[in-house]
Chains A and B, each alone.
Chain A
Amino acid sequence: MSEHTRIDCDIHNEVPDLEALYPYLPDHWLAYCRESAFNGPDAADYPESVPTTARDGSSPKPDLAEVQARVLDDVEIGILNCAYRVQSVRNEDLAASLATAVNQWQVEHWLEKETRLRASIVVPSHSPPLAAREIDRWGDHPGFVQVILPVRAEAPYGNRRYDPIYEAAIRHDLALGINYGGAPGHPPTPTGWPSYFIEDYAGMAQIFQSQVISLVCEGAFERFPSLRVALIEGGFTWLPSLMWRIDKEWKGLRHNTPYVRRRPSEYMRTHLRFTIQPLDAPPNPLHLAQILEQCGAEDLLLYASDYPHSHDSQDFLLDLLTADQREKIDSANARTFYRL
């Protein structure tokens, strides 16, 4: 154990292939998968060979032994975020069965074998009633602390169609984790499909911003005052600019969403937390310090390695912090947020 005991809020445990789920699929879907050309979800958010997907010496889909060896050394608790995109499977029943299989696989291959790990429930969020059923299936398992939702979705997450998911999450006192990626069929920008992966990657931050606007302006936090949302792998240096803009909008357009009774930035501070990878930091550390100060980041950030993904070093941020701030970001914020 190092001097700092950390809670790592973003470690990826990816399903190696569809066959890994066969033991957990019901007979009819197992037969369907074997007899058809179906090969698992159709999402291209983490191509295995691109440099951001895996750092040097890491596998894009690490197994438990690799995570134990390379991540957990100085980690008190690690939170797993599985990015198996069942939402890209249009057949909702198959998507729901795949989600159940993934969650069972997470229990058997990760949670039951390593007590330092916690996991996120994969749900068919394009079908909120089925997603709620999946949350109820696992919600009382002490290993699950979060429901994971891809940032790209059919509709923004403030939309009331998702209420069954939020009701279920609250029923089991689970956090929501909105994570990089997804494959809902819509283009990933408001202006259609870009050509390159680097555009998807760089543009993902603007989708996180749209989700924050939606959650706040559609009143998700007024409907569910105890809802807590982690934004995972979407950066955070854009937060001050978004707070300023939406607060300004609200001053003139309050009557458009009259249930939004506080400044939008207050909801953001109260209900949202952000993992620190990727940093997307300015080259000048003074500017990063100013960003941290502008949004009160010491209470909002959660330490994360984002293993095995590869980004700039988080030390650039951590070195700016006082011991107290460091303790909050390393573990205290996550302990409170995830009820650890």
Chain B
Amino acid sequence: MAKHIVATVDEIPQGERKIVEIGGRSIGVFNIKGQFYALRNICPHQGGPLCEGRLTGFVMADKPGGEYRYERRGEIIRCPWHGWEYDVTTGQSWVDPTSVRTRSYEVEVATADALPSSYQPGPYTAETFEVSVDQEYVVVELPG
């Protein structure tokens, strides 16, 4: 496991995302209701840039002609190419939960003080380290 600093907490407000390049991989880091999630920026279907898609909710209906319900607002990402829906919090696709998931990564928020020297700075290195010590960093953990 290798930890990468990818952003400051301030940099990704609620409902926003940042797409970063770590170890040759494009990864989207999302702030959803104060929690951070990271997804590989590739749709398993045809390779579209999943994390550039629209953040939306999940539409449900029990039957035709009945009520539509709009739930999980802002927690579902729709692939910008073919519109497949994924749950950002789990990487789970809705259409075919048994066979399609995108890769998600552990994200944690570390205070600057607590950053151990083993963390590998991500592409954001220079700027991040210039932030004051009481600032919080977003760290993505990548499988080695």
- Do A's and B's CB atoms come within 8 Å in the complex? yes
What are the 6 tightest A-B residue pairs by CB atom distance, in nearest-first order? A219-B64, A252-B83, A259-B61, A251-B95, A258-B59, A258-B61
A258 to B79, CA, bound (A): 17
Determine if A259 and B62 form an interchain contact, defined as CB atoms under 8 angstroms apart.
yes
**Known A-B contacts A258-B68, A259-B66; A251 and B61 likewise in contact (beta carbons under 8 Å):** no
B interface residues, Cβ below 8 angstroms from A: 45, 56, 58-66, 68, 79, 82-85, 94-96
Determine if A223 and B63 form an interchain contact, defined as CB atoms under 8 angstroms apart.
yes
Answer whether residue A28 sits at the interface, using C-beta atoms and an 8 A cutoff: no
A and B contact pairs by CB, cutoff 8 A, 19 listed:
A219-B63, A220-B64, A222-B63, A223-B63, A223-B64, A250-B95, A251-B45, A251-B82, A251-B84, A251-B96, A252-B83, A252-B84, A254-B94, A255-B58, A255-B83, A258-B59, A258-B68, A259-B61, A263-B96
Instruction: Report A-chain residues with C-beta under 8 Å of the C-beta of B59.
Output: 255, 258
- Interface footprint category on A: 10 to 19
How many pairs of A and B residues are in contact by the CB < 8 Å rule?
42
Instruction: Report A-chain residues with C-beta under 8 Å of the C-beta of B58.
Output: 255
Interface secondary structure of A, over-half rule:
helix
* 0 or 1 for each of A232-275: is its CB under 8 Å from B? (1 = yes): 00000000000000000011111101110001000000000000
A277 to B60, CA, bound (A): 39
Determine if A259 and B64 form an interchain contact, defined as CB atoms under 8 angstroms apart.
yes
A257 to B144, CA, bound (A): 41
Instruction: Report A-chain residues with C-beta under 8 Å of the C-beta of B82.
Output: 251-252
Of A222, A254, A259, which contacts B85 at CB under 8 A?
A: A254
A219 to B65, CA, bound (A): 9
Closest CB in chain A relative to B81 CB, distance in Å: 9
Determine if B63 and A254 form an interchain contact, defined as CB atoms under 8 angstroms apart.
no
Closest CB in chain B relative to A107 CB, distance in Å: 35
Instruction: Report A-chain residues with C-beta under 8 Å of the C-beta of B94.
Output: 254
A205 to B68, CA, bound (A): 34
Instruction: Report A-chain residues with C-beta under 8 Å of the C-beta of B62.
Output: 259
A219 to B82, CA, bound (A): 22
**What 9 new A-B contacts, CB under 8 Å, besides A251-B45, A252-B83?**
A160-B64, A223-B64, A251-B84, A251-B96, A252-B79, A252-B84, A255-B83, A258-B59, A258-B60
